[in-house]
Amino acid sequence: MNRLTWWILAAALVLPGCKHPEQKQQSEIPESGIPRMASTIKTNDGHTAGQLNSGFYGIENGAWRWTGKQFAMTLGVPPGAAQKGGLLQLKLSVPQVSIDKLQSLTLSGTADSSPLAPETYSKAGQYTYEREIPASALAGDSVKVSFQLDKAMAPAGGDVRELGIIVSGASLLAK
């Protein structure tokens, strides 16, 4: 057996069991063979970037993304949530520059067609916007979650983006 053949056989035996560290956010493949969307995403993860539907800007500092005034994402529905409901957690930061310019920001949203209660932020800092989502909104394999801010910073100083908040991740958990 030549050296190339040996390497090919070794790779065929070893690689299927290997998992790349970045694949932790990837969803399992159910019996249907169709991959399930991730129910937990980080906005800096290229594997789940396709679940950020609109209103997100590019990755900054390798860790997070600014949003616009409106933004949306699709999250996978975890097992059991269609029967018992779910808990949405959005990890966000309100920068001091936003508070200096806008005084406060109010975030609200919808999951499918179910409204999510607003929350107002009047101090800079890191927050978790946490809301229960009824089982009726989680009947499918995934749910679109849309968010809106009451205001955002207008483009300024050569930056053409309308800046809302900073989002680092989101999760949908079964209750």
CB 165 within 8 A of CB 55: no
Distance CA 98, CA 45 (A): 25
Architecture of the CATH domain 37-174: Sandwich (2.60)
Q: Structural domain boundaries of the chain?
A: 37-174
- Give residue 35's pLDDT: 59
CB 81 within 8 A of CB 37: no
- Give residue 34's pLDDT: 52
pTM assigned to the model:
0.80
How many Å separate Cα 103 from the centre of its chain?
26
CB 149 within 8 A of CB 70: yes
Question: What contacts 114, CB < 8 A, 6 or more positions away?
Answer: 133, 134, 136, 137
- Give residue 13's pLDDT: 39
- Give residue 8's pLDDT: 41
Question: Three-state DSSP class for 136?
Answer: helix
Using alpha carbons, select from 158, 146, 148, 87 the residue that is nearest to residue 119: 148
pLDDT tens, N- to C-terminus, the chain (175 residues): 544 333 343 344 334 444 433 333 444 445 554 557 999 999 999 999 999 999 999 999 999 999 999 999 999 999 999 999 999 999 999 999 999 999 999 999 999 989 999 999 999 999 999 999 999 999 999 999 999 999 999 999 999 999 999 999 999 999 9
- Give residue 159's pLDDT: 93
What six digits make up the tokens of 33?
């063979």
